[in-house]
Chain A
């Protein structure tokens, strides 16, 4: 996949699509590419499973991190002023990780004046294995609601079809075909199909979208690395 060329890339989708895993991987990929990059955890919906949980690892990689609601410590939505820097700093690229659902996309309304002055992409992530987005009709429904609530036009589709740690090749291939059909119906480009890096070789030639390899950053507290007893190399305990 070609990394984002716009100043700002906004990631949205129904919850459980894996927006956060994708957003975190995207900023790491951009940082590895030598870019000055920031991640905005703009979730005002949910205090759980947030991209800011990997703040330390991201900052170590030189990524600037902005977080809403005092890192989930506030029980009400609040937006730090520092987020404005992603629209003002033209030398830095940003990835905005929105909260789940059209409700989570509503926050973009607040930044509408800034977005009018900014070159940005708005990607919609889908997971064919989520019951609420498993049919074309449902996805189009969520897609339209998201555009309405955010007051912005979506510019691309990302296939992140998965089943958590039980994801198999067949899930990714099935999701890729579904996403390609969805993108065609919506008249939008299929930006990429994601999957764990370990699947990359096996997926060659099987996908309609270009492949974006994921490293799993959003681990659960009991998950250990695949290496027997080992920890995830990027995670300092």
Chain B
């Protein structure tokens, strides 16, 4: 099929519908408002439900209800709105409910700016709500990847019965790129059964119960142990990453989303100066591909590792965990909606190499 030009936010919405999602609950906020706008137009045509809630808190609880009843559900917001959803996300994790949450990040903290940023990395990968839980977090770097991962996000959410987050910076949401629809659209009725969902017993079975309340501490502890075992399985099976030019590289950039593209441009600039640089890009930022990054960073040729982020340095913590002190790790980036230039990124690499 030939390619079409899609805006990131529209592409997410269309990809969700094609993945069999038929329920969207959300509230507008820049820079992701094209998602609810697109859903409002196209979800009814697909026979689904679009509902603009009175708040983000209401939206995530509508997600809780609909996914509990077995539907493929998503919500989307941008940073401050995703903060408001954290309680509901924790409840979904506690009740083991699938669902896809899209965060098109803007500058923070607080109301911040409406320009692109990546300041929600800690929130997404460490859990912004209460309790011991994890989300699978995809961090696509181009719109084709956004589209390709959306179906996978829903599938993994169902498979592990846990929410999956699509973590994008505002640039990916707002930009336009060519997209090819590689997978056929899925009809909701062709999706696997969810025997745990509260679909009505019709007097043929005991009721299913959706719950995150375990008053007995032992029961709650057992529940946490079971969740932890699930997260261990996810960590084992679902790490995704991409490498570019890492073989024989002197310096490795580590970046997700838009900064990975800046880093690739910086690789070109450094090549002009005879410096061989490469890029390691985690596609899942949880589970983080620690071992894969260690192998690349600890190559004999590598002298320094530089993380590139649109924040004041968050993923660098995971990079340090991965590199285990084998190489010096430094940071370049800017927060609040400023995108670093490839020239600044290249300079940071030179500095890390002492040139």
Partner of A222, one of B30, B174, B177, B264: B264
Given contacts A134-B4, A166-B3, contact A220 B175 (CB under 8 A): yes
CB pair A222 B342 closer than 8 Å: yes
Binding-face segment, B65-73, B205-213, B268-276: B268-276
Does A187 count as interface, using CB distance less than 8 angstroms?
A: no
Q: Does B5 contact A (CB under 8 A)?
A: yes
B94 sits at the interface (CB 8 A): no
Known: A48-B170, A75-B114, A164-B177. A223 touches B265 (CB 8 A): yes
Q: A47-B30, A164-B5 are in contact. Are A224 and B177 (CB under 8 A)?
A: no
Q: How many residues of A contact B (CB 8 A)?
A: 25
The count of residues in chain B whose C-beta lies closer than 8 Å to any C-beta of chain A is 32
Q: Are B5 and A163 in contact (CB under 8 A)?
A: yes
User: B residues 171-205 with Cβ under 8 Å of A?
Assistant: 171, 174-178
Q: Evaluate contact between B268 and A15: CB separation under 8 angstroms.
A: no
CB contact under 8 A between A130 and B262, given known A47-B31, A48-B174, A224-B342: no
Cβ-Cβ contact count across A and B, 8 Å cutoff = 74
Q: Does A205 contact B (CB under 8 A)?
A: no
Interface check B350, CB cutoff 8 A: no
* A221 proximal to B (CB < 8 A): yes
Please tell me if A229 contacts chain B, counting CB pairs below 8 Å. yes
CB distance from A51 to the nearest CB of B (A): 15
Residues of A within 8 A of B115 (CB): 47-48
Which residues of A line the B interface, CB within 8 A?
15-16, 46-49, 72, 75, 127, 129-131, 134, 162-164, 166, 220-224, 228-229, 237
Extra pairs beyond A131-B4, A134-B4, A164-B5 (10, CB < 8 Å): A15-B7, A48-B170, A48-B174, A129-B178, A130-B5, A130-B6, A131-B5, A166-B178, A222-B261, A224-B268
Q: Which residues of B contact A (CB under 8 A)?
A: 3-7, 14, 30-31, 114-116, 170-171, 174-178, 258, 261-262, 264-265, 268-269, 271-272, 339-343
